[in-house]
Amino acid sequence: MKLSQQVIYQIYPKSFYDSDGDGIGDLRGIIDKIPYLQKLHVNMIWFNPFFVSPQNDNGYDIADYYRIDPTFGTMSDFEALVAKLKAVGIGVMLDMVFNHTSTEHVWFQKALAGDRKYQRFYYLRHAKPDGSLPTNWESKFGGPAWSPFGDTDLYYLHLYDPTQADLDWHNPAVRAACADVVNYWRDKGVKGFRFDVINVTGKANQLVDAPKGVASKTLYTDTPVVQDYLRELNAASFGQDANSVTVGEMSSTTIKNSIGYTNPDNHELSMVFNFHHLKTDYVDGRKWSRMPFDFPRLKHLLDGWATGMDAGNGWQALFWNNHDQPRALNRFGDAGRYRVKSAEMLATVIHLMRGTPFIYMGEEIGMTDPDYDSMADYVDIEALNAYRALVRSGYSHADAFTIVKTKARDNSRTPMQWDASAKAGFTTGRPWLRPTNQAKINVADELAHGELFNYYQQLIKLRQTMPIVADGSYQTWRLDDDQVFGYWRQLGSQKLLVLNNFYAAATTVDCPTEMLTAKVLLSNYDEVTIQPKLVLKPYQSLALLLDEN
C-alpha cells in the first residue's frame, strides 16, 4: 500500500501488555495482542525504544542500539514479533535515537577512558576562561546542558538528561555509525524508522552563548545542515528500500523546512512530526503552564500547515497524541460528558486530512489522563524536575501539582486498559504506572458495546480505500467560524467537505450550495440531514462527499 493510504499505530512497549508479570510491558505481550491490532486494521506500528538502556528517560537513553533490553525480551522475541506482524500485513517502525546516547553506551565509556576516537563522538568543551560552563545553554529537562566529563577539566553537552550525551554529527564516523544501526534493523525486516529529535543534530562547530533574552534552542534547532545529514543517511540506509517509511521528529520547525525534509525530490524523509498545534494550550509558549486551548490559533495552525505542505508537496504525520503529550481528549475534547463524541471528532479532524495519521495506543478506546492525587504517582524525570522548578520559582505545592497533573508525560504512559479489573488486565504484577479509570474505559467494554473503536475502524478503512482521502488536495474552508474547524479535499471530480464542531454546544453552518446534493461519507451521529443550514450537534463531525460525474 502507498504511504498515503497507511495508518500507523504507536505502541509504548512499557505500557502495552505485560506477559511475564513484572509490571512492565514486553515484546511477548505485544505478540499476544496482535489480533487486536489486526482488528483495528492498522498498517504499521511504531514502537518506542526497547533497546538496552538504563531507562533514565524510558529508553530514549540508549546504551546499545543493537540489543533488546532484557526487560522487554530477547532478539528472538523481536524476530518473532516482526514475523507475526508481517504475516498479518503489519509493518514495523523502530525509534532511532541518534541525537544522543546514554552515558552508559560503550562509545561514551571509551571516551571517558581517554579514547580519542570516541571523544570525537561527543561535544566535549572546556569551561570559559572565567570558569563558567562552555555555553549558557539549558537542558530541555531543566538545569544546564553541560556536565563535567569524568575527572577531566572538560564538559560534555547534553540537551536532555545528564545521562543523555549529545553525539557530534560533524564527525562522519558518527553519521556512518548511525547508518549502520538503521541497516542492521533493516536486515531484520524493519521498514519503518522514526528519528528522534533529529533536527537538533545540526549544531554549529563553535558553540556559543545564546544572547540575553534569546532561548538557546534557537541556536541549534532546525538548521540547514540537518537536511544534508538526512540526505546522507537516506542514501546510506533506508533510502535503498523504496518501501521504507520514515518520520522525523522535528522540534520547533517551519513549514518551509518541513517541505524540504519531505518533498520526495529531496530524498530525505517520508514525513515529519511538528508540534505547533500542541502548544495552543501553553501560556506564552511555556509548557508548564495552564490555559484552555486557543481554538482560533489551533485552527490557523492546522490549516496553515496543511495548506503549506500541500503547496510544497511535503507530507505531514498527523497526530494528537503520543508518549510525550497528555491525552488530547483532556486538552481539546471533553473527557467527561462527551468523551466518546469528542474523541471521534478529534480523530476525524486528522484522519481525513492530507498526511499520515498516527494513533497512539488507547486513543481508539478513548483513554484519558489518569487521576492521580499526589506527586508520588509520577515517575517521569521531566515531570519531577518541572515540579521542583515550579515550587522553586514560587508556586505553592498545590498549584505546582495542578500544572504537573495536566502536563506530565506520564499521562499518556499509563498502562493500556484491557479490562475493568484492578490492574486493567495489563499485568498480573504491580503495574509500573498506576491505572485509575479502567472501570469506565477499557478494551473489553469498548469492543462489547462501544462505538469509538468501530469509528476508528471506519476512518482507517476510508483512508485505505478512498483515493480522495489518501491523495486529495487540501483547501481551506472558512477560518472565521467560532466553533467549527472545516476543510475541503479534492481529487478529480470528487470533493469532500469535512466539518468538525469543537464544542459541546450545537451549532449551524451554511452548507455550500454545491454540497446540497452531496452524500454523507461519515458522521459520528446518525440521521444527518443535508440542508442549507447544516446542524452540527455537540462535537459532531460530518464528512460530505460530492462526485460531480
- Rounded to an integer, what distance in angstroms lies between the CA atom of residue 172 and that of residue 179? 11
Laid out side by side, the sheet with 146-148 consists of 124-126, 154-157, 146-148
Question: Closer CB to Mg ion, residue 20 or residue 445?
Answer: 20
Q: Which of residues 86-105 bind ligand NOJ (CB under 6 A)?
A: 97
CB 144 within 8 A of CB 138: yes
Question: Closer CB to Mg ion, residue 21 or residue 148?
Answer: 21
Segment interacting with Mg ion (CB under 5 A) among 17-25, 277-285, 382-390, 447-455 = 17-25
Count of residues making up the chain: 549
Residue 222, by phi and psi: left (phi above 0), alpha (psi -120 to 50) or beta? left
Using the rule CB under 6 A, which residue among 17, 50, 122, 160 binds ligand NOJ?
Answer: 160
Residue nearest to Mg ion (CB): 26
Q: How far is the CB of 456 from ligand NOJ (least distance, A)?
A: 23
Segment interacting with Mg ion (CB under 5 A) among 12-20, 49-57, 110-118, 255-263 = 12-20
Question: Closer CB to Mg ion, residue 69 or residue 446?
Answer: 69
Using the rule CB under 6 A, which residue among 196, 377, 451, 471 binds ligand NOJ?
Answer: 196
Q: Which of residues 445-464 bind ligand NOJ (CB under 6 A)?
A: none
- Rounded to an integer, what distance in angstroms lies between the CA atom of residue 413 and that of residue 60? 14
Segment interacting with Mg ion (CB under 5 A) among 15-23, 243-251, 384-392, 471-479 = 15-23
Name the binder of 60 from ligand NOJ, Mg ion, none, CB < 5-8 A by kind: ligand NOJ
- Rounded to an integer, what distance in angstroms lies between the CA atom of residue 326 and that of residue 407? 6
Name the binder of 369 from ligand NOJ, Mg ion, none, CB < 5-8 A by kind: none
Using the rule CB under 6 A, which residue among 22, 324, 419, 471 binds ligand NOJ?
Answer: 324
Amino acid code (one letter) for 388: R
Using the rule CB under 6 A, which residue among 8, 68, 94, 197 binds ligand NOJ?
Answer: 197
- DSSP per residue, 174-187: HHHHHHHHHHHHHH
Q: Which of residues 233-262 bind ligand NOJ (CB under 6 A)?
A: 249
DSSP label of 238: G
In the annotation, is 249 catalytic?
yes
Residue nearest to ligand NOJ (CB): 60
Within 237-365, residue ranges assigned H as helices are 255-262, 295-311, 328-332, 339-351
Question: Closer CB to Mg ion, residue 19 or residue 237?
Answer: 19
Name the binder of 294 from Mg ion, ligand NOJ, none, CB < 5-8 A by kind: none
Name the binder of 26 from Mg ion, ligand NOJ, none, CB < 5-8 A by kind: Mg ion
Tell me whether residue 295 is exposed, middle or buried, using C-beta atoms within 10 angstroms of its C-beta: 0 to 12, 13 to 18, 19 or more: middle
Q: In this structure, what C-alpha cell is assigned to residue 445?
A: 467494554
Amino acid code (one letter) for 409: R
Question: Closer CB to ligand NOJ, residue 181 or residue 197?
Answer: 197
Question: Closer CB to ligand NOJ, residue 197 or residue 522?
Answer: 197
In the annotation, is 18 catalytic?
no
CB 378 within 8 A of CB 413: no
Q: Which of 69, 77, 249, 268 is catalytic?
A: 249
Question: Closer CB to ligand NOJ, residue 174 or residue 197?
Answer: 197
What track of x and - describes contact with Mg ion for positions 20 through 59 (by CB under 5 A)? x-x-x-x---------------------------------
- Rounded to an integer, what distance in angstroms lies between the CA atom of residue 274 and that of residue 149? 33
CB 358 within 8 A of CB 9: yes
Which value, to the nearest 10 degrees, does the dihedral of the CA atoms of residues 185, 354, 464, 248 take? 10
Name the binder of 22 from Mg ion, ligand NOJ, none, CB < 5-8 A by kind: Mg ion
- Rounded to an integer, what distance in angstroms lies between the CA atom of residue 102 and that of residue 106? 9
- Distances in Å between the Cα of 437 and the Cα atoms of 223, 363, 371, 450 are 43, 14, 8, 16
Question: Does the CA dihedral 30-31-36-42 come out positive or negative?
Answer: positive
- Rounded to an integer, what distance in angstroms lies between the CA atom of residue 266 and that of residue 248? 14
CB 217 within 8 A of CB 251: yes
Q: How far is the CB of 196 from ligand NOJ (least distance, A)?
A: 5
Q: How far is the CB of 143 from ligand NOJ (least distance, A)?
A: 15
Question: Closer CB to ligand NOJ, residue 359 or residue 536?
Answer: 359
Q: Helix, strand, or coil here: 522?
A: strand
Count other C-beta atoms under 10 Å from residue 213's C-beta: 5
Q: Number of residues in contact with Mg ion, rule: CB under 5 A?
A: 5
Q: Which of residues 41-60 bind ligand NOJ (CB under 6 A)?
A: 57, 60
Q: Which of 32, 196, 324, 419 is catalytic?
A: 196
Question: Does the CA dihedral 101-156-325-279 come out positive or negative?
Answer: negative
Q: Helix, strand, or coil here: 66?
A: strand
Q: Number of residues in contact with ligand NOJ, rule: CB under 6 A?
A: 9
DSSP label of 60: S
- Rounded to an integer, what distance in angstroms lies between the CA atom of residue 155 and that of residue 207? 13
What track of x and - describes contact with Mg ion for positions 156 through 175 (by CB under 5 A)? --------------------
Q: Does 65 sit near ligand NOJ (CB under 6 A)? A: no
Name the binder of 160 from ligand NOJ, Mg ion, none, CB < 5-8 A by kind: ligand NOJ
Residues that bind ligand NOJ (CB under 6 A): 57, 60, 97, 160, 196-197, 249, 323-324
Catalytic residue set: 196, 249
Site residues (CB under 5 A) for Mg ion? 18, 20, 22, 24, 26
